[in-house]
Structure 1
Amino acid sequence: MIDISRFCLNRKAAPAITLDKTIPLVANLGIKNIELRNDLYGAPDNTTILDHLPDTEVKQLLDDNNVTVETINAVGNMDSREMIDTNLQSLKQMLEMTKNLNLRNIVFCPVRSQDDQRSAQQRQDEAVANVQDYSQLLKQYNVSGLIEPLGFLDGTLRFPWEGQAVIDKAGVDNFKLVADTFHYYLANVTETDFHNKVDVSYIGLVHLSSVLDRKEREKLDDQDRYMLDEHDIMDSVQIAHNIEAAGYQGLYAFEPFSNDLKQYDEERVQEEISRSIELVQQNI
């Protein structure tokens, strides 16, 4: 059974709950890890990561509740060389505003664009060069990076083995991958693919969500993502089971995305989290 200490809450699971209430909420459930976001209230805006609270107040909340900031989501367009200066500026801003919070990781997401005309080799080359630059800046703050492959058809880095190759070619030691069950499903990462192509030692975090709508795989989007449910068409719990069985020992974070969750009050959020934890613990 997965110990409670290995669960994490992404703030997308409680988007209507302010940070000063989210931290004690997760602590009361026994969860010791949280993912912050720069897009919880709309378009990415780093000034919203801490809900405009002073870092000293956030640090006190974290310390009082024994909660750790596992990640900030996210630096976008991470594999676009023409965006490197903008991305480094954004990354430095994130690192500066959280330098007293013992932040562990920053999540990096690839480009999503149907108009991206780069070849696969160009995309990889730019991702490698960018990761090398990100790595140097992250090391100044003793923070690591997590690349999150996005399985959408317009994603430029869709598969976990592509992320592994970028890390290898970049030659960095402070980057791993996010294994997101939604994006595994979108990219159609089969169990055979997983066993033959995915090296679990590269996985630094697992994101869990459920999809209940039986629409076609390629028509799914973030709005279809909810907390875990026994009727999940992706069978996220089975994906997590495979990852765990392969030797993964890290955290499992709940990352739904549907705007419906903005209607959830604290009681509903706690119920959903507890049920999701139970589903994982009963099956892994």
Structure 2
Amino acid sequence: MKFSLNHMVSPHLNYAEFFDLALRLGVNAVEIRNDIPTALMGIKNAKAIGKLAQDKGIEIINVNALQRWNQWDLKKSDEAKRLAEYTATTGAKNLILVPTNDKKFSPASAERLNGLRVALSGLKQILKDNNLIGCVEPLGFAECSLRLKAEAIAAINDVGGHKRFKVTHDTFHHFVAGEDEVFADRTGLIHVSGVVDPKHTATTMRDPQRVLVDANDMIDNKGQLRRLFASGYKGYVSFEPFAAQVHKDRAIARSLSRSMDYLES
């Protein structure tokens, strides 16, 4: 199993500390983010981050993420161009695409589905110009404008984007959405996190409950991974916990190691 670390495992670490954490675990692939306090943006910083990663033998697999990408307009297009250039400058090959997750954004179904296609069409050329793959990540929450990978793949197919886009299989969002099919051949990345608090159900689970995966996991991470690998997935499995208790963990390397051992057992 090829593991990666998302910077969300310990968002207070600077880049050097984060890369060193990965190396201590024998992991040489990471995801960096543009939405945490330690994030450094701009092309000058992207070059420095990329060089630091290269010097340490770390591969930056993606930048996470272009938010609200399906609310496409000129302003969003400009934002996408800047972030795509930043991503490519770090040496990453993928850009995570996160759809609008907001109860206030509730277009009619036909308008929503058409909006996906308009945005993907606009993104396709931007990604091509920067030699990037866009990893579309549906969010399972009821209020999200794109909950299902099946909808994302249908829209990607309609714009002729199968070579430029893949989907992110997030085990948490897959469970919360109640989607069955895993689409291993269209998956560019797997995000893993677990939920262990029994008072929560699929309808009440949110990011603050997302911890590292262990034997108390309620969302069947192991089963999802088995299906994906059995269906031919060969990419990275990346840890993306959002719970405060994980971010405050002073023994995060040990906790990650235990979770890695559990998933591989």
Instruction: Report the TM-score when normalising by structure 1.
Output: 0.87
Show the counterpart of 1:69: 60
Instruction: Report the TM-score when normalising by structure 2.
Output: 0.93
Is the contact between residue 16 and residue 263 of structure 1 (CA under 8 Å) also seen in structure 2?
no
Show the counterpart of 1:108: 97
Q: Aligned pair in 2 of structure 1 residues 86, 48: CA closer, same or farther (>3 Å)? A: farther
Deviations 1:71-120 (A, max 9, x none): 11111112223xx3222222222233343321111111111122333222
Deviation at 1:58, TM superposition (A): 1.9
Structure 2, unaligned runs of 5 or more: none
Show the counterpart of 1:206: 190
**Alignment equivalent of 1:48, drawn from 27, 36, 39:** 39
Q: Percent identity, aligned pairs only? A: 26
Structure 1, unaligned runs of 5 or more: 42-46
**Alignment equivalent of 1:158, drawn from 147, 170, 193:** 147
Q: Does 9-18 or 51-60 show the bigger shift? A: 51-60
Could you tell me how far apart the structure 1 residues matched to 2:88 and 2:80 are? 12
Mapping 1:111-190, distance limit 5 Å: 111-172=100-161, 173-189=163-179
Is the contact between residue 87 and residue 93 of structure 2 (CA under 8 Å) also seen in structure 1?
no
Could you tell me how far apart the structure 1 residues matched to 2:172 and 2:94 are? 21
Q: Aligned pair in 2 of structure 1 residues 63, 110: CA closer, same or farther (>3 Å)? A: same
Q: Aligned pair in 2 of structure 1 residues 55, 147: CA closer, same or farther (>3 Å)? A: closer
In angstroms, what is the RMSD of aligned CA positions? 1.9
How many residues get paired? 263
Could you tell me how far apart the structure 1 residues matched to 2:240 and 2:65 are? 13
Q: Aligned pair in 2 of structure 1 residues 166, 35: CA closer, same or farther (>3 Å)? A: same
SS at match of 1:226: coil
Deviation at 1:52, TM superposition (A): 10
Q: Aligned pair in 2 of structure 1 residues 15, 51: CA closer, same or farther (>3 Å)? A: farther
- Whether 1:22 aligns to 2:21 is no
SS at match of 2:223: helix
AA aligned to 1:250 is G
Is the contact between residue 212 and residue 246 of structure 2 (CA under 8 Å) also seen in structure 1?
no
- Whether 1:281 aligns to 2:264 is yes
Could you tell me how far apart the structure 1 residues matched to 2:103 and 2:205 are? 16
Q: Aligned pair in 2 of structure 1 residues 115, 203: CA closer, same or farther (>3 Å)? A: same
Deviations 1:119-170 (A, max 9, x none): 2221111111111111101111111101000000001111111111111111
Could you tell me how far apart the structure 2 residues matched to 1:79 and 1:57 are? 30
Show the counterpart of 1:245: 230
Q: Aligned pair in 2 of structure 1 residues 51, 222: CA closer, same or farther (>3 Å)? A: farther
Q: Does 131-140 or 21-30 show the bigger shift? A: 21-30
**Alignment equivalent of 2:242, drawn from 257, 262, 270:** 257
Deviation at 1:252, TM superposition (A): 0.5
